[in-house]
Structure 1
Amino acid sequence: MCESLKSDYQLCEEIGRGRFGVVYRCFSPVSGEYFACKSIDKRQLSDPTDRECLEKEPKILQLLGGNPYILQIYKVYEDENYLHIITDLCEASDLYDRVSKRTFTEPEAAGVFKSLITAIAHCHRAGIAHRDIKPDNILFDSRNRLKLADFGSAEWFGIVENRTMRGIVGTPYYVAPEVLSGRDYNEKVDVWSAGVILYIMLAGVPPFYGESPAETFEAVLRGNLRFPTRIFRSVSPEVKDLLRKMICKDVSRRLSAEQVLRHPWIISGGESRALPDLT
């Protein structure tokens, strides 16, 4: 293990394991706080794409530092065989666990969702698209604060030059149709994915699904958004309006993250009220 890491932190028990590394709880004697240490075995990175993703993520997290709803990176250590990344400790259940167990009331959903959209808007202002927004990547710390994580698929799109992106990345259920179609796309792919998450929080099921990933992708490409009466009977017109404007196949009509933050349903905290004219 890297000597400088051992001198700065005391590694404790393993709390997670992924394809290339292990996550440990660690303790800083200087600050008296606990953190997470993600230790990646570089010898297992035979695929250049995997290596690029894992090298890119710390740089992006450092660039996005300071936002309370994005996983903070504190230190990076590297030796010949390992990359060690010190981040916020998020041991509470992630959003995937939470939506697997129950649906959310509109005020509950609005509280979580506003934090998520605030994080996404911060990324977009910095010229970064996450490209894999899904419940598994939405963590919570010990104070139940949301932390957007896993920027391995993220990409710089640039603010001034406003360049588009390519490449099929993302996860079935959440990926935007323009990604699957192979066309160039922009940062609004994150807005689509966030809209799908909001739909699932309220309904308990995704808006597009199939018996296999291929069937799910076909449903996403069709983009036929529905609100089944038996599920959405008690859901307000305001949040349906927001969902239609986020899960919208026409990218030019899809809201930006900043526009989502200004939507009446977000501003009201999920409390129903009359919709003003937004034109």
Structure 2
Amino acid sequence: MHFPTTPDRECLEKEPKILQLLSGCPSIVRLYRFYEDDDSLHMVIDLCNGGNLFDRMSSGTSFSEAEAALMLKQLTVAISYCHRLGIAHRDVKPDNILFDSQGRLKLADFGSADWFGVSEDGTMRGVVGTPYYVAPEVVMGGEYNEKVDVWSAGVILYIMFAGAPPFYGDSPAEIFEAVLRGSLRFPPTIFCSVSSDAKDLLRKMICRDVLRRFSADQVLRHPWIINVRETQVNG
């Protein structure tokens, strides 16, 4: 990691501090060591040689409900752990979801993460994230809370079922407009075999009303997540 300016350096130094704080969660990449030379900061983290979720999605891999539920559960455990410590990831997307050699999920890349627990009202500012996965309140440029991560995780779940995001466009501007104005739809030809519980959870995660949107802990208590068993995936 190269940091030519003081603001860049401060940003890059924040990531290892956050990773150190999150080291107790098995679903988050663990930082073993970080050190600095003349112009770079080096981080030694878990070896995740099982690829990432983006690669799996891009390869045309189809996900059963059990597989999708188990993956979302592991991801949400990581998100919930962050939130309990006052940290929001703010860039949850398939590229940042890695797998180790045992196939265990690891949430990575906390370069956009921030502490929301340090503010009096628990809010953050700043347009960060990736167009398809960013929550509408982030696009609007105002204050927002940690539930932006839940929105992003919901979009990932939607893509695992549909093979495409719920809101899309040909440019970032068009995508942002769709995120702000578009309706969450479940095309029958794609979602006919998806359970009502799964669609119910999607509605509660990809919800524009932040007060009604589920928290990470609520996601983990949803019947669709509670009822998943690892044996359903591993046979």
For structure 1, the 5+ residue unaligned runs are 1-39, 272-279
Greater share of strand residues, 1 or 2? 1
Greater share of helix residues, 1 or 2? 2
Q: Is the aligned partner of 1:146 residue 2:105? A: yes
Aligned-residue offset at 1:159:
7.3
Equivalent residues in 2 for 1:11-30, closer than 5 Å: none
- Do the aligned partners of 1:223 and 1:249 also contact (CA within 8 Å) in 2? no
Aligned-residue offset at 1:155:
0.5
CA separation of 1:269/1:227 partners in 2, compared to 1, >3 Å: closer, same or farther? same
Q: Residue by residue, what CA displacement relative to the aligned partner does 1:152-208 show, whole Å, maximum 9, x if unpaired?
A: 000000079442100000001100000000110000000000000000011111000
Aligned-residue offset at 1:269:
1.0
Aligned to 2:184: 225
Aligned to 2:45: 87
Count of residue pairs the alignment pairs up: 229
Aligned to 1:78: 36
Aligned-residue offset at 1:47:
4.7
Scaled by the length of structure 1, the TM-score of the pair is 0.79
Higher relative contact order (CA 8 A, sep 6+): 2
Aligned-residue offset at 1:222:
1.1
2:68 to 109, 119, 130: 109
SS in 2 for 1:152: coil
Taking only the aligned residue pairs, the percentage that are identical comes to 69
2:219 to 234, 255, 260: 260
2:139 to 168, 177, 180: 180
SS in 2 for 1:114: helix
SS in 2 for 1:77: strand
Aligned-residue offset at 1:48:
4.3
Query: Which structure would you say has the larger Rg?
Result: 1
**Structure 1 runs, 4 residues or longer, greater than 4 Å off:** none
- Do the aligned partners of 1:76 and 1:83 also contact (CA within 8 Å) in 2? yes
1:58 to 12, 16, 39: 16
Aligned to 1:30: none
Counterpart Cα distance in 1 of 2:189 and 2:21: 44
Amino acid paired to 2:202 = L
SS in 1 for 2:34: strand
Aligned to 2:233: none
Amino acid paired to 1:82 = S
Amino acid paired to 2:181 = R
- Do the aligned partners of 1:242 and 1:265 also contact (CA within 8 Å) in 2? yes
Counterpart Cα distance in 1 of 2:95 and 2:11: 18
SS in 2 for 1:173: helix
- Do the aligned partners of 2:150 and 2:215 also contact (CA within 8 Å) in 1? yes
- Do the aligned partners of 1:94 and 1:140 also contact (CA within 8 Å) in 2? yes
Counterpart Cα distance in 1 of 2:193 and 2:156: 18
- Do the aligned partners of 1:132 and 1:170 also contact (CA within 8 Å) in 2? yes
- Do the aligned partners of 2:33 and 2:43 also contact (CA within 8 Å) in 1? yes
Amino acid paired to 2:8 = D
Amino acid paired to 1:97 = D
Counterpart Cα distance in 2 of 1:230 and 1:159: 46
SS in 2 for 1:147: strand
Q: Residue by residue, what CA displacement relative to the aligned partner does 1:60-111 show, whole Å, maximum 9, x if unpaired?
A: 0000111000000011112222322111001112000111122311001011
For structure 2, the 5+ residue unaligned runs are 231-235
- Do the aligned partners of 2:49 and 2:100 also contact (CA within 8 Å) in 1? yes
2:173 to 184, 196, 214: 214
Give the superposed CA RMSD. 1.6
Counterpart Cα distance in 2 of 1:253 and 1:49: 36
- Do the aligned partners of 2:4 and 2:39 also contact (CA within 8 Å) in 1? no
Aligned to 2:114: 155
Aligned to 1:17: none
Counterpart Cα distance in 1 of 2:8 and 2:152: 23
Aligned to 1:98: 56
Counterpart Cα distance in 1 of 2:40 and 2:140: 37
Counterpart Cα distance in 1 of 2:37 and 2:182: 47
Counterpart Cα distance in 1 of 2:141 and 2:6: 22
